[in-house]
Chains A and B, each alone.
Chain A
Amino acid sequence: MSKNGRLRILAVAATASLTLAGCAQGGNEEPAEGGAATNDSAAAAPDAPTDAVLPAGDGTGECEDGVSIAYIGTIAGQNAALGVAILNGVRLAVEEHNEANAGCQVTLKEFDTEGSPDRASGVVTQAINDDSILGVVGLPFSGESDAAGQSFHEAGLVTISPSATDPALSQNGWDTFFRGLGNDAQQGPAAATFIGEDLGAESVCVVNDDSSYGIGLAREVREALGDAVVCTEEVKTNQREFSAVVGTIEASGPDAVFYAGYYTEAAPFAQQLFARGLQTTLVAPDGVRDDQFVQNAVGAAEGVYLTCPCVPADGFGDFFDAFTELAGTEPSTYSAEGYDATTVLLRALDEGLSTREEVLEYVRDYDAPGLTKHFKWDEDGELTDTPVWVYQVEDGEIVRDREIG
């Protein structure tokens, strides 16, 4: 056979193999999911409490010129959608406050950590060195919060995290750390109860990524599920090929899979998990609760349950409308929590407080309702009132399902 002949055969083979792929395309089955629960019982979204303290306050705030608060967290980094949803809540709060309070104009300074613990320390130092900053909303992720907490503690700069859920964060003796939501010691057991009782799953695989958030949450869920855990796996940040992990899960044939991590990895994971027709129910936490997950999982997100210590914002009419107008999207995960956290700081500034010490003291003694819950912290910086909700992906939308804790 001549050289050319051989090359030609290779070319034909190449075309043939592409054809094969096409042939197999025929039937296009959506990955089916067997879930015991249905969404008929979707609980109503809570209304805004009538006595909720809002950023605008009573419009009589007085403060020195040039005071500012900061948002520190991911803006353009990995899993940025989670950060931006919070940031828009913060922006809205500051805007509403400044409009209503002519006597107190607060500047919002935004710092981008790219969500990475490595970058967070540098950015945080920058913020600490800016004396005009009296309070911080952030940091959104547990890993970066862990890396930055000590610096804030030493600088005496108060932080209210609208979304970091690693329980260990409040156990470091940082008197500047306040958490504006329930932690994973609440979310984990609530998710486990939901999986075991509401979904009726008797066998569960728990998968986590290598972030401190994923590891911590998976531990809580495993402990709460006890013997129902039939397999555990860990994946890596930025991993996109999960065949080995999926193989392990398939071999265990669990009724449900819990994935503790963020949406970047969760989307391809979900797709590959259901690609071979595995019948199971996927449950994932707040780090996955974003439209990015729904869209990138290419159909596999349908029916997935998402737990979250965030309260559905549908019922907060005024907030919902104002947010949608400002951000161009509906409020997402932790938008309302970010708004509430900002409100607490703004109230402090309206009092005319002008040092970090005074603001810290004010937050420590704070005791008032916000949109999402009542804000009163214990000495560790944890809230006492911590609702956890579960959502479900339906027709490509994340809709609320029920309150689970």
Chain B
Amino acid sequence: MIGNLPTVLAQGGVDWISFDIGRLVDQFWYNTVNGLAYGSIYSLVAVGYTLVYGVLKLINFAHSEVFIVGAFGAYFTFQFLGYESGGIAQAPLVETIVNLILALAVAMICSGLVALTLERVAYRPLRRKKAPRLVFLITAVGASFAIQQAIMLWRNPNPELAIQLIAPRPLFEVFGVSVTNIQLTVFLAALVLLLIADSFINRTRLGRGIRAVAQDPDTATLMGVNKERVIMLTFIIGGLLAGAAALFYIMQIPQGVVYNGGFLLGIKAFTAAVLGGIGNLRGALLGGFLLGVFENYGQSLLGGQWRDVVAFVVLIVILMFRPTGILGESLGKARV
């Protein structure tokens, strides 16, 4: 049916949309490779949305700012280490790796701290007062804007001047598509972090606590799980992963350190979380990669101006057939 669409639309004199199937096919592997590399960032950020939702049934819209604070953290670490903006650094290999790991640590700590503070300052007082769920949601949106504007006043609306530690360079080819060193690093490192997070949730005692609270907070409390501590832990894990995502993001896109740089990315990551099944960690992982890839397919098929539309159309279509997302179940029910 899609195959007929171009002719149908052409006959109808429609010129605001066109379907370039040939381009979609030609660019398929190229888009897949790039989509996976960028989607890994969506995945890491999506975990934060999904964990908090699983435990609190709260969509933490301020998570996008948790992410961007991590980007600033990594950026200032680069600056502190003496890297200069505007060019590609020429440091020796080992030094670069050590510095990257250092920046990763700083970014994760920054984001983790912001997530934790957010929980303490914004959400915990509301929980104490047993505020209705809607109030949490509005608070989250408010916190998001407050942090964003604070960063804008502190810095300025221009992106920080780009600092790049590693020059992107093609490493090898998959299906005729060159994969750059940065893409491979980001993809592998993100995958590893996601697997660590997954095994933490599914295999450790603390992870069991998180799942227990997600499944039934009251019973979990009765069974001796400290609910407040679990909530704190959830925010910290989400923050840490967002911080890691932030470093990977500015490795790929060094121009991204700007006050509103997390906004759209956060919404996309949230979309990814819903796509995979919100509340489900593996769903976030899958959703992130799928969204990254589909966004690229959509652009090839329809043209670059449809980039943002594609992400949400994919979401709507999937929710029509699987209202709880692809992997469906919530954090608590996923594995008992």
Contact = CB atoms under 8 A, between A and B. Distances in A.
Interface stretch (A124-132, A263-271, A380-388): A263-271
A298 B195 CA distance: 33
A296 B255 contact: yes
A81 B158 contact: yes
Contacts of A25: 93, 96, 166-167, 169, 181
A18 B38 contact: no
A156 B33 CA distance: 56
Contacts of B185: 17-18, 20-21
A244 B26 contact: no
Given A76-B157, A243-B31, A298-B86, A22 B299 contact: no
A13 interface: yes
B88 A238 contact: no
Contacts of A207: 304
A45 interface: no
Interface stretch (B54-62, B118-126, B222-230, B256-264): B256-264
| Residue of A21, A240, A268 contacting most chain B CB atoms (<10 Å) | A21
Interface string A249-272: 001000000000000100110010
A22 B303 contact: no
Given A13-B192, A20-B188, A3 B166 contact: no
Contact of B253 (A13, A14, A240, A245): A240
Contacts of A21: 97, 100, 166, 181-182, 184-185, 251
A294 B85 CA distance: 11
Contacts, number: 178
A399 B36 CA distance: 40
A24 B171 contact: yes
B196 interface: yes
A243 B34 contact: yes
A51 interface: no
Interface string A23-51: 11111110000000000000000000000
Nearest to B182: A21
Interface secondary structure of A, over-half rule: helix
A238 B159 CA distance: 11
Contacts of B167: 25, 28-29
Nearest to B181: A24
Interface residues of A, number: 59
Given A24-B181, A298-B87, A299-B88, A7 B296 contact: no
Interface in B40-92: 85-88, 90
Contact of B162 (A20, A81, A235, A298): A298
Interface string A93-119: 000000000000000000000100000
Contact of B192 (A14, A22, A114, A267): A14
A210 interface: yes
A276 B307 contact: no
B218 interface: no
B164 interface: yes
Contact of A236 (B96, B97, B251, B308): B308
Given A6-B199, A14-B192, A244-B299, A20 B184 contact: yes
A343 to B, nearest CB: 29
A244 B31 contact: yes
Interface string B240-267: 0000000000011111100011011000
B300 interface: yes
Contacts of A210: 305
Contacts of B169: 24-25, 27, 29
A78 B23 contact: no
B158 A240 contact: no
A21 B252 CA distance: 12
B210 to A, nearest CB: 17
30 contacts: A3-B199, A13-B192, A18-B100, A19-B97, A21-B182, A22-B94, A25-B96, A25-B181, A28-B88, A80-B157, A234-B305, A235-B304, A236-B307, A238-B263, A240-B256, A243-B30, A243-B34, A244-B295, A244-B296, A248-B304, A264-B159, A267-B255, A268-B256, A275-B168, A292-B159, A295-B85, A295-B86, A296-B255, A297-B162, A298-B164
- List the 3 shortest-distance A-B pairs measured between CB atoms, nearest first: A24-B181, A17-B188, A21-B185
Given A21-B181, A233-B303, 14 more contacts: A10-B192, A14-B189, A22-B96, A22-B166, A24-B166, A24-B171, A238-B260, A243-B30, A248-B299, A248-B304, A267-B162, A268-B254, A297-B162, A298-B254
